[in-house]
A and B are shown apart, each in its own frame.
Chain A
Amino acid sequence: MSIDIDTARRVAKLARIRVEEADLPALAGELSGILTFMEQLNEVDVTGVEPMTSVTPMRLKRRKDEVTDGNIQAQVLKNAPDAREGFFAVPKVVE
């Protein structure tokens, strides 16, 4: 599977990573190379095989749905690049 420049642009957009137009051809080439490597998987007969979801056949633990912590607003916000009045601040989202 070869990735063209439009696809590379779309993938970068989906991944929310800015890639300059000039860098798209090289990116498309790299991604194509990796996907070609992955194509070996098409040789394998996977008929009737369930996709693996967990390495150990154990049921995930359940716990009571109850509050176990909280009231740590200052700690939650401490590492934020921009926090104001108890909130995370971001550029305007709604016009």
Chain B
Amino acid sequence: MSAPMTAANSWTIAAARDALRKGEITATDLTMACLTAIDAGDDLGAFVHKTPEIALEQARAADARIKAGDAPAMCGIPLGIKDLFCTKGVPSQAASNILRGFKPEYESTVTTKLFDAGAVMLGKLNMDEFAMGSSNETSCYGNAVNPWKVDDRKLTPGGSSGGSAAAVAADLCLGATGTDTGGSIRQPAAFTGIVGIKPTYGRVSRWGVVAFASSLDQAGPMTKTVRDAAIFLQAMAGHDPKDSTSADLAVPDFEAALTGDIRGKKIGLPREYRMDGMPAEIDKLWADGAAMLKDAGAEIVDISLPHTKYALPAYYVIAPAEASSNLARYDGVRYGHRAKLAQGDGITEMYEKTRAEGFGKEVQRRVMIGTYVLSAGFYDAYYNRARKVRALIKRDFDEVFAGGVDAILTPATPSAAFGLGEMSSADPIEMYLNDVFTVTVNLAGLPGVAVPVGLSAQGLPLGLQLIGRPWDEGGLLNHAYVLERAAGFVAKPAKWW
């Protein structure tokens, strides 16, 4: 295969890897193409801290490695990094004012692994504050904007990894890191017509990733294709002694798992995911996806996950509870913002003013909900009950997989991307409903991937989600690969930025 004829920033990771190894392009030229696209893409609000000097230095180093014949798959590949990852000497704010000016003295395990593999960091990407949001509208940097547009409205790229999704969909980079606590990789991937995988909990180290809800958080890649997701995940995954929940398991070759053969595999369609009021086009997309997998030789079976409807309320107890504990560290003492104090203010006023100024509204709301459900007298009624329901949700999945199901197919989102600001007056719960199909996967710790499958009647991307067995990202990606090929989604947003 020779190098694609399109601008290098629009290439896939796989195509760029092959072209780099053949000497058809240098990492420096590839990086320059992305940096140019990034500078022309400021209207997307995707990159919030650009790091061109670091990128070019890493690209030159990658070129030297490639020349010396030492080129891992990600060597010379220009990436965007979500602002949630701590990157040494580079602002890492989790899109929050409370971390304004924070430059970590250390590098997250994920970015360390990527850099060791020769990857290039173009800059930091926009997101919802502390990854709390489904529209990228809670960011201290302002909104990220979906490159897809059907009228004069600006649309959300989804959230929380909205900047990552916008950057990849608009070809500002070849791939981006995301994180997913309740759907924050998969929902934005679906809204922007790209691929995003949340690995099994414990597959990717959380060390150096700003914590939101530690029992749910997991990092993963956001890419243009399923093959790219396999290559990128390979470089992120693996045991890390610095994260006690990271699994000490061998990482299989994910790209080699993409055989395109799913004959005889059993795909479950959970009946509880057929929600009241679900748009007809989402229902049709789901049926179309099932037909594609069936045509590829899989067996489609109806399954039941009876506790599905309790996943969102359980999530909105557990995640804020963990967040209220994790975010206690932002006290104005060790890093980030400290409020200006009045005469006579003591340490309590310092905490209270610092946190009132530093945290945005949604973060404050969730910290307070978490504080309430953990407080004396309510711990059992809310937090422990939610953890019991979580056990039942996981058991639903365990039973389905024990029954021989290889993967589960569901819609990724209840709708296509909506307009920025359209949900601002709505009840917070309306926004939470965006995660209805994705949040169960985090509660059960399973791998889940969003794949673009079609366009809405309006012309916006729609995705389906595949859910896999624990630790079977390889098999899951193979199913996604079959779905991707059958769907043949090649649409790109028309450039307006």
Contacts and interface: CB of A to CB of B under 8 A. Distances in A.
Interface of A: 3, 7-8, 11-12, 14-19, 27, 30-31, 33-35, 37-44, 46, 49-56, 58, 60-61, 63, 72, 75-76, 78-82, 88, 90-93
Per CB-CB distance, the 5 closest pairs between chain A and chain B, nearest first, are A55-B445, A51-B387, A81-B338, A79-B335, A18-B352
A56 B427 CA distance: 34
Nearest to B239: A61
B300 to A, nearest CB: 27
Contacts, number: 164
B268 to A, nearest CB: 20
A81 B337 contact: yes
22 contacts: A3-B372, A16-B348, A27-B368, A33-B427, A34-B369, A35-B382, A37-B432, A41-B385, A41-B389, A43-B310, A44-B307, A44-B392, A46-B388, A54-B215, A55-B445, A56-B470, A78-B103, A79-B104, A79-B335, A80-B335, A81-B336, A92-B346
Given A56-B201, A88-B333, A41 B317 contact: yes
Contacts of A27: 368
B401 interface: no
A75 B247 CA distance: 30
A34 B371 CA distance: 13
Tell me the interface secondary structure of chain B in the complex.
helix
A16 B202 contact: no
Contact of A11 (B331, B338, B375): B375
Interface centre among B103, B332, B337, B368 (most CB of A within 10 A): B368
A49 B393 CA distance: 11
A40 to B, nearest CB: 5
Contact of B105 (A39, A44, A78): A78
B310 A44 contact: yes
Given A11-B368, A15-B371, A56-B247, A37 B429 contact: yes
B459 interface: no
A46 B352 contact: no
Contact of B313 (A41, A54, A79): A41
Interface of B: 101-105, 200-202, 215, 241, 244-245, 247-248, 307, 309-310, 312-314, 316-317, 324, 328, 331-338, 341, 345-353, 355-356, 359, 364-365, 367-369, 371-373, 375, 382, 384-392, 394, 427-429, 432, 444-445, 470
A60 B102 CA distance: 31
Contact of B369 (A31, A58, A76, A93): A31
